Structure 1
């Protein structure tokens, strides 16, 4: 009997003698520099390599990370975090409060260009440091002793939740001093999480192995994050036994998927929104509100979510998804109309914008390589052609190329956008449209919008804050800087031998909470 159990365990491990968790991870991560990570693909890996002052459990709840406890002053302006007695980097060296403070200063230094440092703007002088107006030493983070980290903030903020993000992970600065940008390579990257980097084969996989210096040995010794940019190919690998967990599921009728995979199919609510963005800095969308609105009106979101994405997504007429804490989302006014009414209005707006069948608008719709994105882009282009007579070209790009082009706003016209919440807060979605945000891919610039966000920060109550944020969202939507399409669901295939995989609104699944057990 014991031999049979052992053989079953080896079969589910992928390696004789050592369990290996095989995870699909979408596109190639653009970096493993935690402070510069701009997307889900790198964050998934970094969550295994690093740990911030605060961490999240399998269900997304806050738990102690490198800090064993924390407290906030009565006026909400000072947060104090007390570190665990013994902390070590993956190379065995001690990790203390001074190193954590130095890492924060590096994260906010202008040269780092951390894409999501703006989420931490409540920290005293954070924005000024990132803009180069103050030296990093003036950032509102200090270490009065080796086990204490103190943050000074300028408004009430859920700082522990923010400290779970990669921007807040401690970076081993000696490796940067010695290797520069190459400090993220195997043999050089030093982290403090449950795993360490063993290998990185570009465009194929990243291999992690258990960090022997982490306080709690991870149940699974090795983890491989596979590049699975094409969802259909990822599904085939899962069916062939090459993956334990997929990053997503390709668009297929949901009843068929349930009949085919049963309990292995995991679909859950997810705090994310998918939208198309308009480049507002160049023609034809610069200063052409009516054209942007016409294109948004022409989209039949019900058809897209029922027949193209088809995995429980909800049609979207706003930016912030339902279910975000302490918030009632705004919505486009005509979102409650029937589709035939929206289409009639789309034709009027298109004509008012100066276009017609004889003079069609020419649009390039850009998206990153992905079966779901290709299917959706084809459907959107068909809707624009059939209803408005628009001329649409599709442009498919590898992830890193796509991200660079989207950020630079030089060649983009309409592009695949969207946002997955970093924290459960409406502000996390709206802040991306500030003029100076690294995630403001549209080039949206509206002082009135930013004034509402500032008013929300200064609001005396949660209700007043929510109302100002809702006004800001409504203002953004009325400008038609984006074209909302649907609100996400998380969708994975998970093999029965994987235990500990828990649904949570942010769809985060650190490998240290997972186990591989023989299928019964």
Structure 2
């Protein structure tokens, strides 16, 4: 893979751990009861930054979904106890420090003092306890790693987490921004209904002033935000609201995003079609970015239907020419890399060759034989996909054709993304689905690998579960790598999911925008707009 502005493997040195609507009516979301005046003389003055975003988030409740749209759009608003730097190492955020007991079962966090929520209230340990308990109840990572944990407020500025078994990855998991363990007021959680929280109050540099479902989000600078002094690094370090207002417009039509960045209607346009890269390079006044390293995957439903049978899953893997799928999906090899591993090559602590012989090794006769062994008898195979993300839809078209060549009776069912996320929760109505993930620094943390996460696909593999548990408790990295190599070998034998490529997303900005960055998706703090 070649690189445009941000190197994929330069970003991936220890990768760690990829949409439910709100009311269509305009809402004031910040709940701000304080009378604090906005700071004067802040860089950016009263400027407004306009961003064209590609998808409607299924929810703005970060505890309730793994959707990238939610992750990216809540990042200016919410923060966790810890945050990842660009080496995927947890750093302090709302916690100023933490200690881990000698037996690895207790983590004690000391909170920063006098941190304000957007409603003017002061953060304390009770807010953290309520937030983490809710996150454990609702999130796949919380359930899979902290379901038996005890969370306690030791005093107003101290929180302890007691585990039943040691987990060397616990703090890293708390820093994971996907369906992240963000902190919100205890009162917000108490008022939440089955559909999620009713007001979006965090501690971040921007407060969510208005959310119009499916149309736009408006963020305002939070005057009482207390940035860290450490330099910005990934999601950690200093965050500043350098423009007064950020207006994010939901623009699902990619041609409209492309046209808007050319005319200057938008300051930033995200997730542009790769097909437009060469054209936009010839347009004056535009900066180009390739970032957000991502894994393209196809999930196989192991709870119901054809792919409960392992031989049928193996037949799918033997059917697929990953090179052809990746080329059809992404076009230019500047944007993708074909790699068998669940780690990238620069992840020397995790990269291994296990399963390589089964990846990108299309053998149609072998696939047909496995299909016969599975007892497959022409049953319809439903492949769920959305047109919203071209990397999903293009891959699905290529996969459909390759599976049909060996005898699968594949039917594409196309949904908008929000509906697809609802449909895939019912194992009786689908067999395959396409999705994408940020690459993981601890690749055993991919949620589709571990049955305790209860992620759609519903893997049930005791060996993989025991290997993941062993990685969490491994006394050395050498032993963790050995276990992970066994895990990856079993992954390619059991075939719960098929990886088709690693790729970079393409974004663009006007050339007067400085500081636009991305790590686990885009983020919009520390961005300036030159006149």
TM-score (norm 2): 0.79
> What is the match of residue 204 of structure 2?
193
1:204 aligns with 2:215: yes
SS in 2 for 1:411: coil
**CA deviation after TM superposition for structure 1 residue 367, in Å:** 0.7
> What is the match of residue 317 of structure 1?
340
> What is the match of residue 10 of structure 2?
none
Q: 1:338 to 1:61 in 2, by over 3 A?
A: closer
Alpha-carbon distance in 2 for matches of 1:83, 1:489? 36
SS in 1 for 2:399: helix
> What is the match of residue 402 of structure 2?
383
- Kept in 1, the 8 Å contact 2:448–2:459? The answer is no
SS in 2 for 1:293: helix
Alpha-carbon distance in 1 for matches of 2:64, 2:392? 25
> What is the match of residue 420 of structure 1?
438
Alpha-carbon distance in 1 for matches of 2:57, 2:327? 30
Alpha-carbon distance in 1 for matches of 2:444, 2:360? 28
> What is the match of residue 223 of structure 1?
246
User: Which one of 80, 83, 93 corresponds to residue 52 of structure 1?
Assistant: 80
Q: 1:477 to 1:338 in 2, by over 3 A?
A: closer
1:471 aligns with 2:486: yes
Q: 1:55 to 1:20 in 2, by over 3 A?
A: farther
List aligned pairs for 1:430-469, cutoff 5 A: 431-439=447-455, 441-469=456-484
List aligned pairs for 1:267-416, cutoff 5 A: 267-268=290-291, 270=293, 272-287=294-309, 289-311=310-332, 312-324=335-347, 326-329=349-352, 331-335=354-358, 342-353=363-374, 360=378, 362-370=380-388, 371-385=390-404, 387-416=405-434
SS in 1 for 2:451: coil
1:151 aligns with 2:161: yes
- Kept in 2, the 8 Å contact 1:97–1:149? The answer is yes
Alpha-carbon distance in 1 for matches of 2:366, 2:253? 37
Q: 1:106 to 1:384 in 2, by over 3 A?
A: closer
Alpha-carbon distance in 1 for matches of 2:416, 2:68? 15
1:489 aligns with 2:504: yes
User: Which one of 95, 110, 113 corresponds to residue 82 of structure 1?
Assistant: 110
Q: 1:285 to 1:227 in 2, by over 3 A?
A: same
Q: 1:337 to 1:401 in 2, by over 3 A?
A: closer
- Kept in 1, the 8 Å contact 2:321–2:360? The answer is no
Structure 2: give runs of 5+ residues left out of the alignment.
1-43, 228-239
SS in 1 for 2:487: helix
SS in 1 for 2:75: helix
1:512 aligns with 2:525: yes
- Once the two structures are overlaid, the 10-residue window that deviates more, 484-493 or 57-66, is 57-66
Q: 1:65 to 1:80 in 2, by over 3 A?
A: same
Alpha-carbon distance in 2 for matches of 1:226, 1:325? 40
Superposed CA deviations along residues 170-201 of structure 1, whole A, max 9, x for unmatched, are: 1222234346357745xx33221111111111
Superposed CA deviations along residues 99-121 of structure 1, whole A, max 9, x for unmatched, are: 21232223334xxx2333136x2
- Kept in 2, the 8 Å contact 1:276–1:482? The answer is yes
Alpha-carbon distance in 2 for matches of 1:485, 1:293? 15
> What is the match of residue 26 of structure 1?
54
> What is the match of residue 93 of structure 1?
121
**CA deviation after TM superposition for structure 1 residue 97, in Å:** 2.0
Structure 1: give runs of 5+ residues left out of the alignment.
1-15, 129-138
Alpha-carbon distance in 1 for matches of 2:378, 2:292? 39
Q: 1:292 to 1:158 in 2, by over 3 A?
A: closer
> What is the match of residue 258 of structure 2?
235
Q: Which has the higher contact order (CA 8 A, sep 6+)?
A: 2
Alpha-carbon distance in 1 for matches of 2:407, 2:255? 31
**CA deviation after TM superposition for structure 1 residue 76, in Å:** 4.0
SS in 1 for 2:219: strand
Q: 1:20 to 1:160 in 2, by over 3 A?
A: farther
Alpha-carbon distance in 2 for matches of 1:337, 1:127? 37
Superposed CA deviations along residues 427-486 of structure 1, whole A, max 9, x for unmatched, are: 211x433223132x2122111221222222232211111211221222122112222211
SS in 1 for 2:424: helix
**CA deviation after TM superposition for structure 1 residue 292, in Å:** 2.6
- Kept in 2, the 8 Å contact 1:38–1:116? The answer is no
Superposed CA deviations along residues 60-86 of structure 1, whole A, max 9, x for unmatched, are: 775432223334445544433322231
Alpha-carbon distance in 1 for matches of 2:281, 2:274? 13
Q: 1:282 to 1:51 in 2, by over 3 A?
A: closer
SS in 2 for 1:408: coil
SS in 1 for 2:511: coil
